[in-house]
Structure 1
Amino acid sequence: MISRGRKYAGMAGVPLPLSLNDIELYLASRTILIDRIEFDAAILALDDAWRAEWAEAQKRAADKKGSN
């Protein structure tokens, strides 16, 4: 999993974006069958979508906590 090396910021543990270095470390022990540029773009897009979903879940949890 590429995200195992993910870095976090702040006391809330906000996940930072994956870096090209994170992808490079992952691929050091694997081969891919698609173009590397396409692979990087796909992984970074999936990471952006996951972080957006994470942020929305945090917002919903805070809203729910605030309404109690």
Structure 2
Amino acid sequence: MRDFFLNVTRYPRYLITFGLGVITSVAEPLARRRSNPITAVALIGALISGFLSVSFVLRAMVSSAPQL
């Protein structure tokens, strides 16, 4: 039983490591492109539209009645 709990406690570490790796691999190229003002504005616009899209999708998934 002790081995079972030892294995279960490893999974959050793997999840955190995987998440940090994905964030690092995405953020590193974007950080190099910040120096150009046009690209910086485009990146900010893409981030805002991405957050809005995710919030609209989650709101539609959670609400029970369709809103017209």
TM-score, normalisation: structure 1: 0.47
Higher RCO, 1 vs 2 (CA within 8 Å, ≥6 residues apart): 1
Q: Which has the higher helix share?
A: 2
Q: Which has the higher strand share?
A: 1
Which one has the largest radius of gyration? 2
